[in-house]
Amino acid sequence: MYDSIFPDNLPPGGAYLGYVNGNWPTFPILVKRFPGAHLLDMTVFAAGDATGCDCETGDLSPAQVPGWVARQLARGVHRPVVYASAGVMPGVMALLEGAGITREQVRLLSAHYSGEHICGPATCRASDGAGRIVPACDGTQWSDSAPGVNGTTVDISVLADGFFDTPPPPPAPAPEPVPVSKKGAPPMILIEVARNEVPAGTTWPGVFLLASDGTLHHVTATEGGISNVAAYQAAGIPGPVTISWAEYQARIASPA
């Protein structure tokens, strides 16, 4: 991953880091110049919102990082990135853990100009003044002398596999429960079995009318070009409500 306060110096590559604020707001330029690349947007202010924050002298202090990370998590950022030197990162991680933020909730991008590597206990074993070893990081800016355009030099980082992975999809919402009347009998309602729960090799059962006595009546999707589901809906029958395969099996085993 390349970065420079002078975007014109950046060579072709697959990933770039830029800033959304401060004296060098390069990120908007990167968006236009490298539309197909992975881009990491960073803030140098604790009040700024971005995917990553820059923790170094003149930018965020270590003490400001936990609050910043908590705010990004709250607004839905997947594993916010914290950039800090290898010697500062152990203290930053200790502050994060003290605030209840786990290592798995953040990506750590260290700075350590000691050859190409990703900082960690199994590699450089960099430490802070208290003797704490740098945690295993997700990437390391390892040089500020990578070849840029027209003889210039730029910063370069090596990243762990999956650094730019997208967050996993949210869990599917729970199926809407079949409403029950005050007397305990379900009103008439259309139900259908969740397609993704039907066992392999089994035909999807389709749509049913759940009558007030608890019995199921199959509703064909179309018959003679007429949508029976739509006809029931037009008559004021709600649904279809999705039920699980297990609930469907239970209902056909005990229909009343």
Number of Cβ within a 10 Å radius of residue 47: 10
Most confident of 70-74, 183-187, 245-249: 70-74
Ranges of beta strands (E only) in the chain are 2-3, 15-19, 38-43, 52-54, 81-85, 107-111, 139-147, 153-159, 189-193, 207-210, 216-219, 222-223, 226-227, 241-243
Note the pLDDT tens digit of each residue in 23-69.
Answer: 999 999 999 999 999 999 999 999 999 999 999 999 999 999 999 99
Which architecture, in CATH terms, is 2-159? Answer: Alpha-Beta Barrel (3.20)
Quote the pTM value.
0.68
Is the pLDDT at 217 greater than 50, yes or no? Answer: yes
pLDDT band at 175 (very low <50, low <70, confident <90, very high): low
Q: What is the largest CA-CA distance in the chain?
A: 82
Range 214-239 average pLDDT: 76
Could you read off the pLDDT of 88-117 as tens digits, one per residue? 999 999 999 999 999 999 999 999 999 999
